[in-house]
Structures are given as C-alpha cells and as structure tokens.
Amino acid sequence: MRRIYTLLTVLVLVTLVFSGCGAKRPGTSKSEEIQMSSADQPVQSTGAALSVSNSMEMTKGSLESMDRKVIKNGEIQLEVKDLRETVNRIFTIVKEYGGYIQSSSTRNNERQIFSEIVVKVPSSRFEEFFGRLKQMDKLIYDSISTQDVTEEYIDNQARLKVLKAQEERLVALMEKAQKIEDLLKIENELSRIRNEIEQIQGRINFLDKATSFSTVNIGIKQLLVSHPAAGSIMDGILYNLRDGWGAFFELAVDTLQVIAWLSPFIILAAIIILIVKKNKKWCHFVDFWKRRKN
C-alpha cells in the first residue's frame, strides 16, 4: 500500500515538473521574438548603407574586368603639292575607316594655301588611321595624347546606381506622406537627387562618345612659291627676288590699309588744326584793329 502511495506521489511530482517547464517555454519564446524583432531594426536601418557599400564594391571590382575607357586625340601637319587632291583623299580614308568630318576650313594668301580638318574616327582604328595620314606626302609635325577615364567612368556608374536607389525610396515615401510639410521636403530632396542623376548621366554619355570616337586635327599646307632646295644659283636669286618684292608689296598693302582705316581721324585732326590757325589769325586782326582805334 505504501508503495502505491509512493508511486502516486512520484508521478504527481513528475507531472508538475513537466507542466512547469511547458508553461515557461511559451514565455521564453515571446521574449525571444521581441529580442529578435528589436535586433532586426538596426539591420533594416543600415540596409541602405550596406546596399550602397556593396554596390560600390561590386562596381570597383568591375574596374579590372571591363575594357579600359581611353580618350585618344591626335594632331598632324602635312606639307603637300596638291592640297585639293590631298583633302579629297583624306575624306575618302575617313569614310573607309567609319569616321566622319566634324569641321573643315581653308584659307590662302600669296605664298600658301592652308586647310584645317577635324575628323572623328572609331577609337579601335585610331592608330591605323593615324599611320595612314603619316604616309601622305611630307610630314611636318605629329602628336598623340591619351587620357584614361576608366576609374572616373566606374565611379560615375556607382554614384548613378546609388542615386537611382535613393530616388526610388523617395518616390515610395512621397506616396505614403500625409503632411504637406513632409511632402514638400521629399519633393525638394527628390528634385536635388534627379538633378545629380541628370548631370552624372550626361557625363557618362560624354565619356562613352569620347572613348568610342577619337579626334584627329589635320593641318595641310601647300606652298604656292616653292623654295629651290636643289636648284641652281640663278633659281635661288630669282626666288629671293620674288620673295623680297612679294614681302614689300604685302607691307605696302598693309600700310595703305592702316592709312585708310585712320583716314577719318586724320581728316578730323586736319580740320581742328585749320580752325585753330584761323582763330589765331582772327585774334591778331582784332588786336590790330583795337590798337589802331586807340
């Protein structure tokens, strides 16, 4: 009998222990949920910063994988025998390489004809095109300059990505805004963000065009009076004679042009001098007349 009571007592105690543990578990689960929710808040608040840093790191990582963005410019000056034929050849070569003429101008004087051409050619064929130009007639001067803008391009892409994410968040906040004051603040910030997006996008577009097509400045001159490099003594004398008289006539023409430009001032000065002289004569006549009366 005592054994039965003992067993019943043990069963009751075991039941109470298990029931007590079961009662504590729901309480602890609620506290754990509260702790978890409070722990999630800083993660959500720092989500934007993490996304920004992640986008920057990903974009920086693409710096090594993407092709280099390089702006190439060239300048060349040629001396030719037939300027018109050379210009036509250059136009043909530019079309052959998939480029286009940006500007072209020609001027001349008694000694030479000079033409300036600015062309755009694909950057991938810039070196080949420039080499073709150097083979044309007499080369006077040539230079090539390059500028690596890869890092700037990558930075602008990263900034653009961040700004667009901020724009999306501001648009979402604007839809939820209830106060006019909050709405105005969001609109001002959104306007600023969109202005930065427009500027950065414009810079990216410029870099794309500048790195896709290279600029080449071409100067071509044709001498109308050639110097006798390997001629006779008489040829040299005749050349210097023509050159000297040509310079003299140019100076004479320039002097006449200056005099013609100054002619109104010269005439006005002459009139003033005549008036002053007449006034002096009139003053002498008046003094003489007064003395005669006295």
pLDDT tens profile 12-23: 554 544 444 444
Start-to-end Cα distance in the chain: 179
Residue where the block lists tokens 């003299």: 248
Least confident of 16-20, 41-45, 158-162, 253-257: 41-45
With a CB cutoff of 8 Å and minimum separation 6, the contacts of 191 are: none
What does the block give as tokens for 222? 């044709």
Cα 237 to its chain centre, rounded Å, is 53
Nearest to 221 by CA among 138, 143, 142: 138
CB 213 within 8 A of CB 121: yes
Residue-level pLDDT at 225? 62
Q: What is the DSSP letter of 67?
A: P
Nearest to 97 by CA among 213, 209, 205: 213
Q: What is the DSSP letter of 123?
A: G
Least confident of 125-129, 142-146, 280-284: 280-284
Residue-level pLDDT at 10? 47
pLDDT tens per residue across span 155-198? 999 999 999 999 999 999 988 888 888 889 999 999 999 999 99
In angstroms, the Cα distances linking 96 to 121, 129, 271 are 10, 10, 67
Residue-level pLDDT at 219? 95
With a CB cutoff of 8 Å and minimum separation 6, the contacts of 132 are: 93
